[in-house]
Amino acid sequence: MSEESKEIGVQFKNIKETLFSNKLSDDIVNDFNHDNLELGLAFSLKGFPNEKSVALSLTIFYKYKIENKYKEFFKFTTETLFKFESTYDNVIKIEDSKVFVADELMGTLLSISIGATRGMMSYKVSNLPIDLVLPLFDISKLLPNLTK
């Protein structure tokens, strides 16, 4: 495959918040220690074949360990919409609402979505009495089949 055939025209159309939940309690604030904090990340794709678009839903959640049990206290979900000039069967395929994306492209979409979510989240948590930061992620650990 030539380098030229690997190029895909994609637009970052928009990002929107779809869920925000903050149940930060006094017991977490009073006992706060970063060692007891656990960060979680989940993502999914939804395809829109008629629009040649893909929506990447990204959820960030934090849990805090109290008395050897983790209690979820923060959840933030965004949906990032990407529009493709065209689809290529070897890189992306949209069938009904199912999406098949090559790992390399998925890594790019995920990186963009995480970065945009980080900015939105930083605004949401700026007034919290504890420090919640969305760190940088090694995308290859999120997508184990990603080749370097």
* Distant-in-sequence, close-in-space partners of 17: CB < 8 Å, separation ≥ 6: 76, 77, 78, 120
DSSP conformational letter for 30? H
CB atoms within 10 A of CB 107: 19
What amino acid occupies position 148?
K
Q: Which tokens go with 52?
A: 């040649």
Pairing mode of beta strands 53-66, 69-84: antiparallel
pTM: 0.87
Report the distance separating Cα 100 and Cα 94, nearest Å. Answer: 6
* Tens digits of residue pLDDT in 15-65: 999 999 999 999 999 999 999 999 999 999 999 988 889 999 999 999 999
Q: CB neighbours (10 Å) of residue 71? A: 14
What secondary structure does DSSP assign to 19-35, as a single string? EEEE---HHHHHT--GG
Cβ neighbours of 53 (radius 10 Å):
18
Average pLDDT value over all residues in the chain: 88
Say which CATH architecture domain 9-142 belongs to: Roll (3.10)
Tokens at residue 130, please?
A: 């504890």
Distance CA 103, CA 145 (A): 7
> Where in the chain are the domains?
9-142
Please state, for a pLDDT cut of 90, what percent of the chain lies above it. 62
